[in-house]
Every structure is written in structure tokens, then in C-alpha cells.
């Protein structure tokens, strides 16, 4: 049901200064009237102006529960476009639960996860891409992720998809009209125009699709693996990046036997860093397992940081690592440059065509150059994308990819001189696939699945 009244705790259920209980639905005002009493005792919330806040008390029958502030937002000018009431009470598990129980006792039901935002979508206040942006805002790991989510919430994705769908529908409508009334509307010469229009649309969708990888990295973080032989300074590098002694550092080779995982914020983006066991040929069973895990995570990484001890000549173990990262996005760090260097950077360049940065983890030198390199190489140095439409959602990415396939089918049909009816089928399919992104052609089961991932009270 979407016409009943729901309620939930919208803040974390813990010891805190403030808690919020949110109520939404056709009976929200009558529910609050039953449990709220103003200081004077004669004010009904249902009779006050919208978007006002009121001081008073929550009662369960004649039992005082808490001193509160009540915020009133009457529909349709509210988050859900329904009547919404928010009760600001003292923080604390017992009092917050007691107020929610009282609200439910007097006519509301407990909201499902994401049900407030789901109602905002179903009632037409936001589209599906904006609804997903709400959850992305809550889960933002860094400033860039937050900026992109806010951009989507403002409707940037919605506007771009509506623009592209409008172009597709224009061509589709013309074909349908010509087929229905061939005496007055001719399709002569239209194939060339249609092919040009579709190529433009495919390029637009291609740009959106290309943005998905940057969007994923911004949203989820760059999966970064630190590789190198034992005792080259991998753990020291991790500790510097994290800003704490997360990894044990000793002069004993092979100290790190398993992977260590930490997240760090660099230039507004998140690095999900994995420090691995030193890669070398060893008879130690435990160390062997660590080396195999290092190989596995390296194959799945977005970025590999290959650390070399510049004070020790390269050996066969370095050759193994070079083979692992040859076709991966990687940066080479020549560490321990505060000592006499036994490794020639030019020699490394001959073996592996990757950028090289000289650092000293011990003296914390060169790390800023690594940070600059990461930003430049993953986002071309352009991190201000408030006006750029960026896809961060795998569901949206798949819909765009499938829409491109359908449009390519139209071009194939044109080149094969097939009847115009074939164009209409694939054009409509592309139109509907793009509609799934903003929720205009999405089925109920998918909607339920999307909102089930939301937190309670949102």
C-alpha cells in the first residue's frame, strides 16, 4: 500500500543529543494530534501552517514520554509529497523507541527500508536516478563521491536521459506517422537522416558509458595493491598513506604474511589499499599462501604500486613482479633513495614502460608526487565535474550499454535495407531501456529491490 501512513526512526538509534521520528501519509496529522500536546494544551498540529515547528510534549494516553519539537510539512510540498511530520526528541534508545511505538499505536505502521524515498519516487517528486543518488549521498566515502551524488540529485542524469529519449521518440514518431499515413508523409531520404541522428545519440550514450568507470572509482574507491619483494618498504608506505602504524615494520624480510587492507583519502578520492606479502620464491608454506594471495589481488586491482628497494640490485623476483604488472595500470616507486642507489631508473624503463617516482618512505619524501600522479592518471586532473553527467550505477550502465546495442541494430537494419518496422522495434527498445534509468519503464520488482537496499527512515 502507498496510501497508508508510515513511520520510522530517521536517525541512528544510539546515545545522542537528538533523535528524529518521521511520519508520512494521509493520517500523519491525525496521528500527531493524538499524541502531541502543546505547552498551552490547546494547539492541534493539523491546524497549524505548513513548514512550521512547534514546541510541546509527546504523550501516550496520559503518560508523558518526552519534551519535543514537531516539524510540519503538508503535502504536496514535502519530501514524499504527502503530509509529513517529524518529531525531534531527546536522543537515546529507550525514549526514541517509545515515541515510535506510540506513533504506531495511534495509526501508523513501521516503514520498510527506503519507503520514504520510494514514495517520493512513486509520487513523482524525484526520478529513479535521483532516488539512487540519495542512497549514494548517505554512503559517500569522499568529497568527490558526495559532489557527484549531489549532481545526480539535482537531476543532471535525468535531464540528459530525457534529452536523448526525446530525440529517439521524435524519430520513432515520424516513422510511425509515415507508416500510418504514407500518402501525406514520405520516408524518402529519411534513412540517411535517421542514421545521422542515431550516430549522434550513440556518441552521447558512449560518453555516458565512458564516464561509468570514473564514476565507479569515485563512488567505490580505487582498488590499489602494493606489490614488491620482501623488505622493500611496502608496509612503511602503507603506514605513511594511512597516517598511522597500521602495518608491522621490521628489518626481517617476510614480516607481512597476509594482505592488509585500509582506505585512505587522497585529493578527495578514496584508495582502497591492500598491502601484500613480499613476492619471492620461498619454501615457507604460510609465506607461499601470502604470495599467492598477492598475485590474486593484483589481477583484480585498478592500480598497482610496485615498490622497489633502490639500494639493492634487481633480481629474479623482480622479474616475476614485472610479468605480473606488465599489462596493468601501475606506478613504480623507487624507495630507499636516501641510501646509495643500486638500481638505475633507466634500466627499469627498458624492462617496464611505467612511470617511476623516487621516494624515501623513511624520510617521507616523494609521497606527494605519488598523490599527484594518482589524481592525474585516473581523472586527468579534472576533478570539478559539477556540470558533468557521470554514471556511478551498474544498473544505469547496463541499460545504456543495451540501448547502444539496440541503436546499432537500427543502423544495421538501415544498411541491410530492411523495412522501417524493424527500425521502430529497436528504437522503442532503446527508448524503454533508457526509461529504466529514470524509472519511467521500470517494473515493480526492480523498484522494490532498489529501495530495499536503503536504510530505515529514509
Q: How do residues 173-223 score in pLDDT, each as one tens digit?
A: 888 888 888 777 777 878 889 999 999 999 999 988 888 877 777 777 888
Share of the chain above pLDDT 70, in %: 90
Q: State which H helix or E strand residue 361 sits in.
A: none
| Domain 6-111 sits in CATH 3.30.1360.120 | yes
Alpha-carbon separation of residue 11 from 64, 69, 96, 104 (angstroms): 22, 15, 10, 17
383 has a pLDDT exceeding 50: no
Residue 43: predicted pLDDT:
85
Give the mean model confidence (pLDDT) for residues 51-59: 96
Residue 381: predicted pLDDT:
43
Share of the chain above pLDDT 90, in %: 38
238 has a pLDDT exceeding 60: yes
Residue 401: predicted pLDDT:
95
Q: What is the pLDDT of residues 390-430, one digit of tens each?
A: 787 888 999 999 999 999 999 999 999 888 888 899 999 99
Give the mean model confidence (pLDDT) for residues 431-457: 82
Alpha-carbon separation of residue 131 from 31, 125, 137, 216 (angstroms): 27, 10, 10, 18
Domain residue spans of the chain: 6-111, 133-215+397-452, 221-379
E strand segments, 81-138: 84-90, 109-110
Can you name the residues that pair with 16 across neighbouring β-strands?
none
d(CA 202, CA 200): 6
Per DSSP bridges, beta strands 109-110 and 6-9 are parallel
Alpha-carbon separation of residue 169 from 155, 433, 435 (angstroms): 20, 13, 12
Q: What's phi and psi for 417, nearest 5 deg?
A: 60, 35
For the full predicted model, state whether its pTM sits above 0.85: no
- Residue 78, judged by CB atoms within 10 A of its CB (0-12, 13-18, 19+), counts as buried
d(CA 412, CA 403): 14
- Per the model's pLDDT, the better-predicted residue between 354 and 377 turns out to be 354
Per DSSP bridges, beta strands 269-275 and 260-266 are antiparallel
CA nearest to 169, candidates 432, 441, 440: 432
Contact criterion met (CB below 8 Å) for 194 and 414: yes
Residue 220: predicted pLDDT:
79
Question: Which three cell numbers mark 258?
Answer: 597476509
Residue 117: predicted pLDDT:
92
Residue 363: predicted pLDDT:
85
235 has a pLDDT exceeding 70: yes
252 has a pLDDT exceeding 70: no
Give the mean model confidence (pLDDT) for residues 314-332: 88
Can you name the residues that pair with 54 across neighbouring β-strands?
70
Class of domain 133-215+397-452: mainly alpha
Alpha-carbon separation of residue 377 from 209, 272, 329, 371, 413 (angstroms): 19, 16, 9, 10, 40
Question: Which three cell numbers mark 70?
Answer: 514537531
Residue 455: predicted pLDDT:
77
Position 454 confidence tier, pLDDT thresholds 50, 70, 90: confident
**Domain 221-379 architecture:** 3-Layer(aba) Sandwich (3.40)
Residue 379: predicted pLDDT:
64
As a whole number, the mean pLDDT across the chain is 85
Give the mean model confidence (pLDDT) for residues 349-366: 88
Amino acid at each position: 500500500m502507498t496510501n497508508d501512513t508510515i513511520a520510522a526512526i530517521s536517525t541512528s538509534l544510539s546515545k545522542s543529543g537528538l533523535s528524529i521520528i518521521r511520519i508520512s501519509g494521509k493520517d500523519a496529522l491525525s496521528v500527531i494530534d493524538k499524541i502531541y500536546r502543546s505547552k498551552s494544551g490547546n494547539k492541534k498540529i493539523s491546524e497549524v501552517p505548513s513548514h512550521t515547528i512547534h514546541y510541546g510534549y509527546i504523550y501516550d494516553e496520559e503518560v508523558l514520554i518526552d519534551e519535543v519539537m514537531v516539524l510540519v510539512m503538508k503535502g504536496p510540498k514535502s519530501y514524499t509529497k504527502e503530509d509529513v511530520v517529524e518529531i525531534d526528541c531527546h536522543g537515546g534508545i529507550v525514549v526514541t523507541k517509545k515515541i515510535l511505538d506510540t506513533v504506531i499505536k495511534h495509526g501508523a505502521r513501521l516503514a520498510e527500508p527506503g519507503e520514504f524515498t520510494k514514495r517520493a519516487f512513486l509520487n513523482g517528486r524525484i526520478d529513479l536516478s535521483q532516488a539512487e543518488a540519495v542512497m549514494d549521498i548517505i554512503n559517500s566515502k569522499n568529497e568527490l563521491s558526495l559532489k557527484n551524488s549531489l549532481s545526480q540529485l539535482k537531476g543532471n542524469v535525468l535531464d540528459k536521459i530525457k534529452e536523448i529519449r526525446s530525440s529517439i521518440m521524435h524519430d520513432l514518431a515520424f516513422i510511425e506517422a509515415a507508416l500510418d499515413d504514407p500518402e501525406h508523409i514520405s520516408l524518402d531520404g529519411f534513412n540517411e537522416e535517421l542514421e545521422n541522428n542515431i550516430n549522434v545519440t550513440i556518441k552521447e550514450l558512449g560518453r555516458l558509458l565512458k564516464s561509468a568507470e570514473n564514476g565507479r572509482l569515485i563512488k567505490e574507491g580505487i582498488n590499489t595493491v602494493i606489490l614488491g619483494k620482501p623488505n622493500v618498504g611496502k608496509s612503511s608506505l602503507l603506514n605513511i598513506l594511512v597516517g598511522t602504524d597500521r602495518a608491522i615494520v621490521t628489518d626481517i624480510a617476510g614480516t607481512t604474511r597476509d594482505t592488509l587492507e585500509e582506505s585512505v583519502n587522497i585529493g578527495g578520492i578514496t584508495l582502497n589499499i591492500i598491502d601484500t606479502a613480499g613476492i619471492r620464491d620461498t619454501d615457507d608454506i604460510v609465506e607461499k599462501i601470502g604470495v599467492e594471495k598477492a598475485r590474486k589481488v593484483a589481477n583484480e586491482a585498478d592500480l598497482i604500486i610496485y615498490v622497489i628497494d633502490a639500494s639493492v640490485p634487481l633480481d629474479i623476483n623482480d622479474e616475476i613482479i614485472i610479468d605480473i604488472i606488465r599489462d596493468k595500470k601501475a606506478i613504480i616507486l623507487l624507495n630507499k633513495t636516501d641510501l646509495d642507489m643500486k638500481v638505475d631508473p633507466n634500466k627499469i624503463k627498458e624492462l617496464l614502460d611505467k612511470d617511476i617516482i623516487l621516494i624515501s618512505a623513511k624520510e617521507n619524501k616523494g609521497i606527494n608526487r605519488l598523490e599527484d600522479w594518482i589524481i592525474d592518471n585516473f581523472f586527468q586532473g579534472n576533478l570539478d565535474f559539477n556540470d558533468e553527467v557521470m554514471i556511478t550505477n551498474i544498473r544505469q550502465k547496463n541499460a545504456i550499454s543495451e540501448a547502444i546495442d539496440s541503436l546499432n541494430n537500427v543502423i544495421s537494419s538501415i544498411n541491410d535495407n530492411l523495412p522501417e518496422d524493424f527500425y521502430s522495434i529497436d528504437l522503442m527498445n532503446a527508448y524503454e531501456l533508457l526509461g529504466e534509468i529514470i524509472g519511467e519503464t521500470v517494473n515493480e520488482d526492480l523498484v522494490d529491490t532498489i529501495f530495499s537496499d536503503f536504510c530505515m527512515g529514509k
